[in-house]
Every structure is written in C-alpha cells, then in structure tokens.
Amino acid sequence: MKDETRAVIGGRDPAAQSGAVNPPVYHVSTIVYDGVADYLERDNMREGDTVSYGIHGTPSTYALEQALSDLEAGPGGGHRTRLCNSGLQAQTMPMLCVLSAGDHLLIPDNVYGPVRGFAKGTLRRLGIEVEFYDPLIGGDIRRHFRPNTKLVHTESPGSWTFEVQDIPAIAAAAKEHGALTMMDNTWASPLYFKAFEHGVDISTQAVTKYVGGHSDMIMGSVTSTKDAYDRYVQRGWRQLGLCGSPDDCFLAARGLRTLPVRLRQHWTNGLAVAEWLMARPEVAEVIHPAMPHDPGYALWQRDFRGAASLFAFTLQERYSSLPAVCAMLDPMERFAIGSSWGAFESLIVPVFPAKLRTATRWPIEGRAQGQVIRIHVGLEAVEDLIADLDEGFARLRAAST
C-alpha cells in the first residue's frame, strides 16, 4: 500500500463508531471497571488496544499512534508510536528513557537548539556525558565512541543549516558498537524519510510542524523498533506520565489525512522560491538539500523521498547588516516573522547558527556574524511569495547604501 492511502485510512474504523468517518475524541481520565477483579487486573491489560487509565492510552491516542506507525513502518521498525506534549519532549524524553548516569551521548553540533540546552543542562546534571559531533562525520562517528556510548542522536537535515547526515553509516556504526540511534525526523516527516529503513532505532518528530500543518497545536511523536520500545520507551513513558491531549490528537489526525498532498505542494513551492533566490544578486548562498549545487544533495537523493519547504539563504556581506535585514523583513506581507513552521503560511527569520556550535565552525561565521535567513514556504501562490520577496530585496538594497 502507498503512503497516500495509508495517510487516509490509518487509525480509522468507521464500523466501530456508528459509521462516523473520524474517530471520536475521548476526553478521559477515569476508567471505571466492572468489578474489583477487573480493577486489580488493569496493569496486565494489553497496551495498544485496551484502556486502563487516561494517560496510558485512549481510543483517541491509539488511533493517531497507529496512523503514524503505519507511515513510519519499515524493515525492523515502526513497531509502536507514543505521543507526548511537544516536539521538544519527543527529543528529550527518549534520552531520559535510555540514558543512565555514566552513559555517553553523542549529539550533532547543529541540533535543534533547545535539545542542546536540555543535554547541557539536565542531562549533564544527571551525570550523563554529553559530546557534540560534526553532523557531516558519517561512519567516522566511531572515532567518538567510548565504551559507555549508549545513544547517538541525529537530526537530518539540521533545521537552521540543513546539513544532510549519512544516517545509514552512523546507524550501522552505532549498531556495531551496541549503541542506539535516535533521529529527529521533523524536516522530512515519515513520508519523505523512512528512518527504520536506514537503521534508526527511535524516530521522533514534532507533530506540531507538517503533520499538524495548521499552526494550531503542539505535539510530539516517538516511534521505536520493538527492541527499543520494549527495553526503554514503554516503561519510560509510563514512569514519566507522558501522553497526548485528545483534542490535539484529533487535529493531528485531521492534518495527517492531507499530509501527502500538502507536502508535495510545499516541496514544489519551496524549490520554486529557492530557484528564484539563486538568481538574486543580494543572495550569497541558497542552502537547500534538494538542489544539485548543495553539498547534501547526493545523500538527499540517495536516502530521501522528497523535500520539505524549510531551507535557508545567506546574504552578500554588504547587504547583511541587521538594520537592513529588518527593513527587508519587517514590512513583508506574505512572509510572517515567526519560528515554528510546517503549516500553510510562509515564514521568514534571521538566525545565527555560529553562536550555538562548539564542535564545529559554521563556515560563514566571519560574515555578518554567520547570519542565515531561514525560510518556510507555505501553500500560497509562488508568484505572490516572490513578489513579496522582490519588494523586500528593494528595501534591503535601499537600506544598505
């Protein structure tokens, strides 16, 4: 079955719900039992198809988890998806589930910023050794392994600077060493990167972004191999009390039905805007892994099935002062200034990756403090977006002289 079909049917069972197309929203804390004997048995109930207490899973969460598992599924993976309250939790909580004091964790140097904060703060406080590595290291990651290396985190492409990681090489090296590989798969979503086909053990995403798709909810998902689930995630989720809210499950499932269509349009719109930017004299580089000039293109072509609409560009030095960038961006009409992404509307922000690195140098850190303009291309007409950018560049030029 193809993903477009899976996205439409996943987690739905109209016959079980009076013919209603969508699963109803269960607002649940208490579950009442037939008798004391049933109540005393509740912890032995099979997870995934029974309901014992609100946080352990309800028909609302099971339906979305099943739909996401169906899309993530690949050889050896997609066994079970669990939900949590944000994309950030989807990164941090598996780390808490897997790691113990004395363990060593490897994190790419371009990792989503708040994850860096969590690792340097909470994880180090708990006695976990945290080391940042060059995201482009590939199989040479083994040079960083220590006897106590337990988990290798990956994120590909990075969400500010878009380096594509050699996930199969990293995951194979980790497996050889007996470590687990975890991935932030938010950029590609389970449609455009099949994490389990590439050796990942725990695939996570900010459902907030493309799956939600409408800037109206926050949620994270964590899908694991059976082994990683049984050993770490299941128990951890229960002990940490993690769950998804029923209304957000409904919104995420609604977003999921149209995800394949939306993503295809995001991909096309994003590339059209990126190609237009390539020809602008104010632009120094366009950083987009699905364009042939990009250093990540070969890996993107090998491993990915499509491209997101989140990418970046840099400005020529003489056009890159912050006041000039503000003159360009502040009055924009189609591109809003904001940092979540994945929904129907276009966004644009300047970001400064050099500040967040410790293991590598951001190559252009000498120019305009390494400023990168990050763009999320939404579902508007490309012509309107380009017209907005064109007027923005006129303001940029005027403010730069």
CB atoms < 10 A from the CB of 327, how many?
Answer: 18
Q: Is 353 in the site for ligand PLP (CB under 6 A)?
A: no
Strands 180-184 and 149-155, bridge-based pairing? parallel
| Site stretch for ligand PLP (CB under 6 A), options 59-67, 87-95, 267-275, 290-298 | 87-95
Q: Is 184 in the site for ligand PLP (CB under 6 A)?
A: yes
Query: Minimum distance from CB of 62 to ligand PLP (Å)?
Result: 21
The secondary structure of residue 148, as a DSSP letter, is T
**CB of 196 closer than 8 Å to CB of 227:** no
CA-CA-CA-CA torsion for 20, 87, 57, 195, nearest 10 degrees? 90
Binding mask 56-75 for ligand PLP (x = CB under 6 A): --------------------
Nearest alpha-carbon partner for 86 in 212, 193, 191: 212
Q: Is 93 in the site for ligand PLP (CB under 6 A)?
A: no
Query: Minimum distance from CB of 339 to ligand PLP (Å)?
Result: 8
Q: Is 343 in the site for ligand PLP (CB under 6 A)?
A: no
CA distance 7 to 70: 8
Query: Minimum distance from CB of 342 to ligand PLP (Å)?
Result: 8
- Residue with structure tokens 């996570």? 204
Q: Is 237 in the site for ligand PLP (CB under 6 A)?
A: no
Q: Is 245 in the site for ligand PLP (CB under 6 A)?
A: no
If binding means CB under 6 A, how many residues of this protein chain bind ligand PLP? 14
Strands 372-376 and 310-315, bridge-based pairing? antiparallel
Contacting ligand PLP within 96-155 (CB under 6 A): 112
Structure tokens at 137: 């290291």
- Residue with structure tokens 């957000």? 248
Q: Is 87 in the site for ligand PLP (CB under 6 A)?
A: yes
Query: Minimum distance from CB of 397 to ligand PLP (Å)?
Result: 31
CA distance 2 to 290: 22
Binding mask 192-221 for ligand PLP (x = CB under 6 A): --------------x-xx--------x-x-
Closest chain position to ligand PLP (CB): 87
Q: Is 88 in the site for ligand PLP (CB under 6 A)?
A: yes
CA distance 401 to 323: 12
Cβ burial, residue 122 (10 Å; 0-12/13-18/19+):
middle
Q: Is 273 in the site for ligand PLP (CB under 6 A)?
A: no
Strands 149-155 and 372-376, bridge-based pairing? unpaired
Nearest alpha-carbon partner for 184 in 110, 246, 134: 110
Query: Minimum distance from CB of 104 to ligand PLP (Å)?
Result: 22
Closer CB to ligand PLP, 60 or 186, in the complex? 186
Binding residues for ligand PLP (CB under 6 A): 86-88, 91, 112, 159, 184, 186, 206, 208-209, 218, 220, 340
